[in-house]
Structure 1
């Protein structure tokens, strides 16, 4: 059969991606046996990209066009540099997109840990943005580009409401929820904040603001009241920021190293080169093995991957297989669930929950929360022996919602007539042409209420709480990590490092002993990567871009709603 021109273009693209990836793999294999040339008194130049995933893509398109750096690669570089005698200093160059806080705090913790080595670590801000500055305050000194402002202005969150737009085009979002604070569908059903929605958003925003203030106060040795005044006076030109004690110098990149206590001829090593330094070369690694189950994206059925409009997806099929593999592997001493998920389909989350329950009966299971571990993401964490979250993690959202989009009015405006043939009193329950009948609405509400009660039971069993105790902090309400800890939903504040410490403790491993972390799902073979690329599902690289993620926040829930399944999903607002 002759290929169409479009198919030929796609095939050429995939083959080109495969060729580039194989050439890169061959190059990697050629240099793998050679120790990277890291000279004594080197400076590690650690550039933090605008967006970070938990794990680098292992598909061909992702490897060719996606970023290699992850939260883990940044943290690992700092851990190695701390004990590597060849590294004399670190220059951290953060450049975050405004967004969530968990990953920023993960790296900030690693910077503070590095400082225990007494080696200098300085931050160089090419552009002074709030979250980048928050991270920079963990360093010994902060340098700012002369032409850059310091946009230290506080924290704001934004929520879109599409109800009026839907009314204009004849679309109705017919939604139901279990939980007064389960506001994920408000995007489609409301024109403004409901009282509960505003209360929750204000509480989250205030806690993020206080965490920003506390971080700056600690890092710059200022009183919190002074920091609040400074924030209200912002933004600042570079020289103003210097006079206010917010930074230490205004310099260009080529001037930066002159002020560090290092030899004048010190070499500079970037992260791509330093990544090749094996942990064993600096006395790290080895020892018992811990399995890390990466859980990044929206929870759904089937295999994990990436698809429009939901971005990265955590497929219950892939995830369950990973947990079983780690559970049955005698070399895996403990399991860490590394979660960065807003939730998703309730039934898929329940299937995944069951595997965690089975795993914890065999070996220690610790949940480590990144930016997000909310709704379905919290559901799968609940049975873990311990839950660790960053202060700025978004978690909780213990509630459920569901419904459908009624398109009858819009179709009628365009002259489209919908006729249905059905057998069964409720056969047209999810018809896109008409709203729910009273009977259908009652049936769906019963499903959502049952899903909510099941969620309460899961959390109560996992956290050692009563149903009413969980209900009091549930009802769909989202909490920051430290708010959740105060309410018994989280055990400790910290990152993956703290989760590893707890896993070692429960597995009976000497606290001082190094461990090896093995990620799941396992990396795919080259043939498996080619197979996925040809099937055109390898889109994780561009799906991680800020623009696409913003679109996913709008469109992703709509696709999940169309499934008709009860949803455990975080509301779409993101703190800025």
Structure 2
């Protein structure tokens, strides 16, 4: 027995020591990765180099330092990301870099919104003015991938590959049937017949008004999509429409027949062509550099600019919420602080507010709006809209001196709503749980989720929603110099595509991110300046400690759910929302 306990004790000690050593090793790896992130290591660009532009990675607003992306437990090649602004800067630098001979564009399914893809595509077209070649190749082109690839001098497809060209579609997910089965009632208070963010919880199909606006914005996106491809490929828009409408691209040879691609090639043939263009002997390996590494080089070289005159770019990316937020959420405190800092810095002569947001908390939106109004009084504020700047995303920027959109930016959605779930049936009948209590006033338990709202409670909440909507359209009317009646006529929660937003006065002109910066410089009457970015990126170690569990959970949820992860996200987001919301009517998924 004594020997038995000695053995058990030794085993326990061994397990504990092994666990301690494992934790020490894991922490050492994490610290090493995080430390390496802060190191500025440039990559040497040899002569006759090919710039490898992989656009299957996540294209974000900014390039963030994400320590977890380097860890094998959660990281993989597909999870790399790069800010679209850094891609554009890199392409602009490569245009005049004698060591860069051409671009190899590889894209199958880009993880980017339509407006950001247009920004990148336009930058590729600008690169071509240097007379340097762009060669695009893929085994499979989704429609977004082909939209980007069509800007290349030569577009090649694998002989056994596929090119998707079928037109755009947008699908919404409706949860009412599931809620009914669970015994959950979604109690809705809203303003705006187009404010359909709540429809998935109270209906099983699109309303007529919602179908009208989705049809309008989808046709707007498609018009830009076809026009850009038509110009680059020298195929008429009508022909492209017919090719998609009749699904004529069913085999690789069809893509060649209709001149959608320049040839069917295997990878080795592409490499030979790249060697020829770059002046590399056939027996030698290609000299390549990834867009990520090249962009880092460009960023490092830009740090030498010490010009005291500055333009601040403030990134407002993600859902809008109260508090600090993070790199993927617009926290009213963090963004407001960034705007104040830029306003009080005498060396900052103008501000570009870069918005990519479907909206969120109406209160948080108003807090940020106030800072924009105060800043506009002392220096120019130009807004640049990305993929989407809707509802609260529009709210925070409507006071800007000028608003730039891309033709395919989604914007507007001027409306508000509140949603209070009623779990009474689920709790009482399905789970056998009942509630009872006392209160000192008839409204002491307003917003309770274990019973239906009373008419009096509904009236109180509706008045609050109405007041928020009135404030919203008043802010827009003041900022856009329109009457409240006119703003109300184009509001009601309706979503508009960028070209329509300019037509009806919600935006001033179509233009890219750089156009907005140039407009800011012109209004500030400055010619020489440098760009500073706000808010400051979160510290990588803090980000690691704060979000590691969530990121690991998200990684494995995506792996298990695949395409259905979007539905999980929508349900989770709906449950977590509280207060009056100024959000886009739905999450847009265009295929």
Instruction: State TM-score, norm by structure 1.
Output: 0.89
Equivalence for 1:4: none
CA shift, 1:232, in A, is 1.9
Residue aligning to 1:491: 508
Question: Does the 8 A contact of 2:54 with 2:106 survive in 1?
Answer: yes
C-alpha distance 142-100 of structure 1, shift in aligned 2 (>3 A): same
Cross-structure match for 2:323: 302
Aligned mate of 1:254, from 268, 286, 301 = 268
Indicate whether 1:317 and 2:333 are aligned: yes
**1:174–1:403 Cα contact (<8 Å) kept:** yes
Matched with 2:383 is 367
The answer to whether 1:332 aligns with 2:332 is: no
Does residue 107 in structure 1 map to residue 120 in structure 2?
A: yes
Per the alignment, residue 418 of structure 2 pairs with 402
Give the 5 Å matches for 1:25-44: 26-27=35-36, 32=41, 36-44=43-51
Q: Deviations over 1:480-507 (max 9, x none)?
A: 1111111111112122111111111112
Given the alignment of the two structures, is residue 522 of structure 1 paired with residue 522 of structure 2, yes or no? no
| Larger mean Cα displacement after TM superposition, 551-560 or 400-409 | 551-560
Q: Whole-Å Cα distance in 1 between the matches of residues 19 and 60 of structure 2? A: 26
Query: Aligned to 1:56, which of 59, 63, 68?
Result: 63
> Does 1:23 find its partner at 2:32?
yes
The structural deviation recorded for 1:283 is 12
User: Is contact 1:80–1:282 with CA below 8 Å preserved after alignment?
Assistant: no
CA contact (8 A) 1:59 1:533 kept: no
| C-alpha deviation, 1:94, in angstroms | 2.2
Matches within 5 A, 1:71-82: 71-82=84-95
Q: Give 1:331 deviation, angstroms.
A: 2.7
Cα-to-partner distance string for 1:441-474 (whole Å, 9 max, x where unaligned): 1111111111111111111111111111111111
Greater RCO (CA < 8 Å, at least 6 residues apart): 1
- Is 1:343 the counterpart of 2:353 in the alignment? no
Q: How many residues align?
A: 556
Aligned position for 2:259: 245
Give unmatched runs, 5+ long, in structure 1: 1-7, 307-311
Instruction: Map 1:30-429 onto structure 2 (within 5 A).
Output: 32=41, 36-58=43-65, 60-61=67-68, 64=71, 65=75, 67-97=80-110, 100-234=113-247, 235-260=249-274, 261-265=277-281, 267-278=287-298, 287=307, 288-305=309-326, 312-412=328-428, 413-429=430-446
CA distance in 1, matches of 2:460, 2:579: 12
Offset of 1:95 from its aligned partner? 3.2
Match of 2:576 among 537, 540, 559: 559
- In 1, distance between residues paired with 2:18 and 2:185? 40
- 2:48–2:99 contact (8 Å) kept in structure 1: yes
Aligned-partner Cα distance in 2 for 1:14–1:550: 35
Measure the CA separation in 2 of the matches of 1:455 and 1:431. Answer: 27
| Whole-angstrom distance in 2 between the partners of 1:448 and 1:379 | 15
Contact in 2 for aligned 1:92/1:122 (Cα 8 Å): yes
- SS at 1:294's partner residue? strand
Q: What SS does the aligned partner of 2:330 have?
A: strand
How far does residue 172 in structure 1 lie from its aligned partner after superposition? 0.6
What is the aligned partner in structure 2 of residue 5 from structure 1? Answer: none
Alpha-carbon contact 1:155-1:209 (below 8 Å) kept: yes
Partners of 1:188 and 1:339 in 2: CA distance: 28
Larger Rg: 2
The 3 A distance-change label for structure 1 pair 386 and 16 is: farther
Structure 2 unpaired stretches of 5+: 1-16
Out of 438, 462, 467, the position equivalent to 1:450 is 467
In the TM superposition, residue 267 of structure 1 has moved relative to its aligned partner by: 1.9
Q: Using the TM superposition, give the Cα deviation of residue 385 of structure 1 relative to its aligned residue in structure 2, in angstroms.
A: 1.2
- Give the Cα separation in 2 of the matches to 1:226 and 1:13: 62
1:553 CA displacement? 2.8
Q: CA deviation at 1:432?
A: 0.8
Q: How far did 1:54 drift?
A: 1.2
CA distance in 2, matches of 1:61, 1:218: 41
* Aligned-residue offset at 1:264: 2.9
Q: What SS class does the counterpart of residue 464 from structure 2 fall into?
A: helix
8 Å contact kept, 1:289–1:516: yes
Aligned partners of 2:22 and 2:536: how far apart in 1? Answer: 26
Measured against aligned partners, the alpha-carbon deviations of 1:379-417 in whole angstroms (never above 9, x if no partner) come to 001011111111111110000000201111111211111
Rounded to whole Å, the distance in 1 between the matches of 2:569 and 2:19 is 24
Q: Would the aligned equivalents of 1:59 and 1:538 in 2 still touch at CA under 8 Å?
A: no
Q: Summarize the Cα distance change of 1:523–1:29 in structure 2 as closer, same or farther, 3 Å threshold.
A: closer
CA shift at 1:289, angstroms?
Answer: 2.5
Q: Take 1:474 and 1:363, find their aligned partners in 2: how far apart are those partners?
A: 29
Q: CA deviation at 1:276?
A: 3.5
Q: Does 1:568 align with 2:571?
A: no
Shift of 1:271: 2.1
2:475 is paired with a residue whose SS is helix
Instruction: Measure, in 2, the Cα distance between the counterparts of 1:539 and 1:324.
Output: 35
Question: Alignment partner of 1:145: what SS?
Answer: strand
Report the 3-state secondary structure (helix = DSSP H, G, I; strand = E; otherwise coil) of the residue aligned with 1:107.
Answer: helix
Distance in 2 separating the partners of 1:158 and 1:405? 24
Structure 1 405/299 Cα, relative in aligned 2: closer, same or farther at 3 Å?
A: same
Aligned partners of 1:27 and 1:191: how far apart in 2?
51
Could you tell me how far apart the structure 2 residues matched to 1:369 and 1:15 are?
45
Kindly tell me: are residues 56 and 226 of structure 1, through their superposed partners in 2, closer, same or farther at Cα, counting changes over 3 Å? Answer: same
* Counterpart selection for 2:479 from 462, 465, 485: 462
